[in-house]
A and B are shown apart, each in its own frame.
Chain A
């Protein structure tokens, strides 16, 4: 069983829709990260969370430590948001454990 599970695996949305991507983990963590992987392969960090909620532009990330669950929300989605969104956890120190990713496609 994966230590980090994401849902859904694939998501297609119409431009303007509100999008939620979920991440559940089964291990103790020191932090959780949301990453964006572009079609060319590059990985960009979006958020690092250890508690509560963070907002950056149209992106909002929340984490519930007790429930071992995090969500990434995109408001007013746009075709340029199309990418793979990856949840990764820091277990102890020194490394990330990655989820399988959610492939998002936003249609114009």
Chain B
């Protein structure tokens, strides 16, 4: 069964460093998402991506964040200069459609620890 994959599963970085989190969505999906979950808190929407551009982003997704689909399969989240408060689990998701029919399939997550 097709699944969303994410790498790495755990990333440890120093404050101020750049990190890139990678996702491979399900191959025929058209919509891509990043969410984050700070330990002990609820999952929060970061950004959605369709047709090679950002569809919607939250207030969390500031200038330190960017997303890219560099080729036909990968979808990446870059954090330019990490802060301690960026420590969280980051989930990638993809769906074939959106807006009421768009069941999203989640990757296993990348745990980011910023020291």
* Interface residue count on the A side (C-beta < 8 Å): 25
Is A100 located at the chain interface by the 8 A CB criterion?
Answer: yes
In the complex where A97-B45, A100-B42 touch, is A30 in contact with B103 (Cβ < 8 A)? no
Contact of B100 among A31, A42, A95, A96 (CB under 8 A): A31
Task: Please determine whether A93 and B98 come into contact, CB atoms closer than 8 angstroms.
Answer: yes
Number of A-B contacts defined by CB within 8 Å: 68
CA distance A38 to B113 in the complex (A): 20
Q: Which of B48-66 contact A (CB under 8 A)?
A: 48, 50, 55-56, 58
Q: Are A41 and B42 in contact (CB under 8 A)?
A: no
Interface size on B, residues (CB 8 A): 28
**Can you list 19 contacts pairing A with B, beta carbon distance less than 8 Å?**
A30-B100, A31-B100, A31-B101, A41-B89, A41-B111, A43-B91, A43-B109, A45-B104, A45-B106, A86-B42, A88-B43, A94-B56, A94-B98, A95-B45, A95-B48, A95-B58, A96-B43, A98-B35, A100-B42
Q: What residues of chain B have their CB less than 8 Å away from a CB belonging to chain A? A: 31, 33, 35, 37, 41-45, 48, 50, 55-56, 58, 89, 91, 98-106, 108-109, 111
